[in-house]
Structure 1
Amino acid sequence: MFDLDQTLENPALRRFLKLDKSVEGTVVHQPFSTDPAYALKEWDVITKVGATPVDNQGRVKLGANLRVYFKYLIQKTAKNGKVPLTIVRAGKELQVQLPVSSQRPLAIPNLDGAYPSWFVYGPLVFSTATREMINGLTSGHLAVGSPLLKRFGDQPAFPDESLVAVSSPFFPHKLVKGYDNPMLQVVKTINGRAVKNVGDLVAFLRDSKDEFITIEFDLRGAETLVFPRAEIAAATDEILADNGLRSQGSADTLAVWNAKASR
């Protein structure tokens, strides 16, 4: 449960919510999702987790002399990915089933020992942005204003959102002559189209018929890269061979790249 809450001890807050004196619980300060179908809304008062009452400090009783934060009960009460809550909304008591997960969805996730999705396109390596990349930022222009810092800790802004970054320096090639190294910069658009995730980027590159590929980065002062589409596509195999790379991407991005053959 990743919703944020606050205590219900303040008298003015209780009057603002028009709560009966008998109501005890914790106030939903920031719901994890703003989707209209989401079970919790701002200003809901969570009064019970399952059958266990929640007090005005957001605590639940465990035995005669022990009180703990109510979220302790979430994992113990949840069944089939949902936890039953009793809430008060606009003065009415409701029963809701709140979807819960053990992992918080993040726009910039941790790898946790896994490998990120990645894809080589000409002299560039695109990758899903991860928290581990932040360690590569310096105190210079790469860090100032970087979405890797601005979006740190954010949940995805929409389903399947993940930031896409250039994960390594350019591979040597004449196509990059005169361009600054965009390592650790986050891709904003390809040919003016916003990028949702690395799979979305690969699909666009796969299907593009434009004469040029333009890559805009989400960083003030960053260059926009322009490549002739036919030339950068033709250079990819050469670059892979010259640098001893046996694959153009991770299994998931290659599945997207090769999907065109099945159409």
Structure 2
Amino acid sequence: MIAEYDRHLAATPAGEGRYDVEVPAGWAVGGGINGGFLLSLMVNALRDALPAMPDPLATSAHFLSASVPGPAQVVVGVRREGGSVATADVELVQGGVTRIAATVTCGDLDRFAARGSASDRSLAEPLALPPIEECFASADAPDEVKAFVAMLGRFDLRLDPAHAGWGGGTPGGTGVVQSWWRLDDGREPDVVSLLTAVDVLPPVTFDLGLPGWAPTIELTAYVRARPAPGWLRIRHATKQLAGGLFEEDCEVWDSADRLVAQSRQLALVPRPMPS
């Protein structure tokens, strides 16, 4: 049986680098569709255009306008293909309007892993979270929150209580949100889903007492390795909120304690949640 997530990512070739897709309402958050899921949708189409280099090593995306549920097209323009990487411009077009413009550099993570050498090292400490059963489950969110954030029905999110005081009206003020995460249907993580993962947590501004939808202006994501099966651990953090903007840095760790994805995005200070 095909997992719901994969059905939502489906892309049909339409010729001349175009792919027909359907933007699902189930990934809505506030007034738009989750940006990380949309990047996964775009990259899934790009993989068809570049089958020998299927992995999105580096993605830089500009969010030009909010996408809505319904038909859309992914438009792929390969700029360079050869050697160990390929680079392409990828756009999500809906109603004749470009919603997202991205540049993606792809390669084969298996080939890069085979180049491992004595110089390989990680200076990052694996993300430590409380046991899953001690964390706050997204399934227990109030009905009004689930209505505002429809994508909560697509996965299992378990928030670290140490950075989730905002759920009870007492934000911690640390600018950090971190959680366990996995897709529904027992669907294991892969490189495409990592682009969803880097944008799936509540904005870090919740922990600063500013709840609501925070529209992304630009997001850059790096996929560093194929994730092992099992839960992912995700941490978002910010150091600067000023002038109506904030940055959000993300780390994604897999069940084998490897840093498998990183991202940074610039976003607008959230719009208020509906009362």
Do both proteins adopt the same fold according to a TM-score greater than 0.5, normalized to the shorter chain? no
Which of these two proteins has the greater Rg computed from alpha carbons? 1
TM-score, normalization by structure 1: 0.25
More relative contact order, 1 or 2 (CA 8 Å, 6+ apart): 2
TM-score, normalization by structure 2: 0.24
